[in-house]
């Protein structure tokens, strides 16, 4: 596999010492677009942090998410990502939110996990004006 075709795990945040990652925000469509372009830009290096699973196939990294104070261990192998709670059990929703924090970049493609909003978005219905009608005879009958 060429260097461009190797999968890269990217996130918006900072790498701290002792393999601690601090994730600052969830990626969006614009992040996937900017990562799909060639990485010659220094802005990418400041905004995104990259993890190369092929270089460190068994590395374990601790994640501290700003919105969740639970430490979670992330084990990365070339074909899988495994999340493990270190202190207390974590909910499936929090697990999904942790996976939503990463973009997988392979070649010129950026993929990220997203979920549907729970609340349905509907268009505003226009109410027809109500007409009040009354009928009367205008001319009396003769």
In the three-class reduction of DSSP (H, G, I as helix; E, B as strand; rest coil), residue 63 is classed as: strand
Global pTM? Answer: 0.67
How does pLDDT run along the chain (142 residues), one tens digit per residue? 555 677 888 888 888 777 778 888 888 888 888 888 765 555 566 788 888 877 765 566 666 665 556 677 888 877 788 888 777 787 888 888 888 888 888 888 888 888 877 777 676 776 776 777 777 777 776 6
From residue 103, give the alpha-carbon distance in Å to each of 54, 64, 106, 123: 16, 17, 10, 31
């Amino acid at each position: 596999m060429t260097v461009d075709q190797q999968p890269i795990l990217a996130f918006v945040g900072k790498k701290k010492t002792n393999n601690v990652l601090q994730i600052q925000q969830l990626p969006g469509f614009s992040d996937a677009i900017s990562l799909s372009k060639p990485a010659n830009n220094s802005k990418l290096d400041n905004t995104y942090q990259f993890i190369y699973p092929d270089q460190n196939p068994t590395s374990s990294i601790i994640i501290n998410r700003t919105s969740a104070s639970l430490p979670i261990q992330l084990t990365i192998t070339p074909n899988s990502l495994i999340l493990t709670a270190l202190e207390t059990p974590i909910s499936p929703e929090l697990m999904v939110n942790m996976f939503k924090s990463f973009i997988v970049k392979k070649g010129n493609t950026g993929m990220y996990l997203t979920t549907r909003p729970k609340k349905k978005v509907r268009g505003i219905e226009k109410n027809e004006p109500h007409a009040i009608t009354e009928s009367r005879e205008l001319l009396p009958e003769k």
